[in-house]
Structure 1
Amino acid sequence: MNKTQIPSINTDSHWYVIDAKNQTLGRMSTHISNILRGKNKPLYTPYLDTGDYVIVINSSQVSVSGNKTTQKLYRRHSGQPGGLKVETFEQLQTRLPNRIIEKSVKGMLPKGILGRKLFTKLKVYSGSSHPHIAQKPEEYIV
């Protein structure tokens, strides 16, 4: 009789730093979501949190291809009647550059409890410095 082996919960999580300077948003986001899910490890299990932590720096300098800077729209709603707010990529990048990467990666994670838990392992900063030096993060080249 075959037994299914379930890997133990990941206790030795690694920390990775990704520099978003001049990186394409979609390609970088897929690498980030794969690290958060743990798909870069041999112990990957779809229903368990086997992923690592990711720190993204220079989020204000991420790029997109084509005319997406003026055509890509980000929508949010306050919940009130007539409360829809629409911004272009360019406007959101000047106002809140971290939200662009967060929204892109969150859409690539599983929906539900596991996805929300994995999303907490993503740390995005608009500058080149971050407060996670004590975790000794490794540089990840996309």
Structure 2
Amino acid sequence: MQKTYLPSPATLEKKWYVVDAENQRLGRLATQIAMILRGKTKPDYTPFMDTGDFVVVINAEKVDVTGRKREQKLYRRHSGRPGGMKTETFDHLQNRIPERIVEKAVKGMLPKNALGRQLFTKLKVYAGPDHPHQSQQPETLTIQTIPGANS
């Protein structure tokens, strides 16, 4: 009788990747990052295990969106109190906390359970070009852009 292969956590090697978000489209960037965090780019992907890698995103302040999303896309948060809903546009949030835009986009593409929360901790987002993860020797990862897409 054959058994199904199950990767053990000891045999899984976790890599570190650096992604430059400068002039990247938010949605396309977030889908690629979510795939890496989830481990779907690896041959030993298992849906119920954390087989993914760590991702460091730099230049989050320079991420781009198409159309009129800069003025129209809204980010909502609630304090938990009656009347505690706060909304702000993409442009305002990018000026205030640019890291949160990439984090919310990627978090929405991860599973909504304990595994998703664990995977989200492997995402590190920084507004500028510097990050404190040089000792992990991260590889530079280029996100595929669509040639001829609107700029």
Fold-level similarity (TM above 0.5): yes
Distance 1:11 1:2, change over 3 A: closer
SS, match of residue 108 in structure 1: coil
| Structure 1: runs of 5+ lacking an equivalent | none
CA distance in 2 between partners of 1:25 and 1:81 (Å):
32
Q: How does 1:1-142 map to 2 (within 5 A)?
A: 1-9=1-9, 11-142=12-143
With the length of structure 1 as denominator, give the TM-score of the two structures. 0.98
The Cα of 1:78 is off from its aligned counterpart by 0.4
Q: Deviations over 1:5-63 (max 9, x none)?
A: 11111542100000000000000000000000001100000000000000000000000
Task: Name the residue aligned to 2:147.
Answer: none
Q: Deviations over 1:84-142 (max 9, x none)?
A: 00000000000000000000000000011100000000000000000000000000000
Displacement over 2 Å in runs of 4+:
none
CA distance in 1 between partners of 2:76 and 2:14 (Å):
34
Q: Which one-letter code corresponds to 2:99 in the other structure?
A: N
Percent of aligned positions that are identical: 62
Between the two proteins, the alignment pairs up a number of residues equal to 142
CA distance in 1 between partners of 2:14 and 2:118 (Å):
14
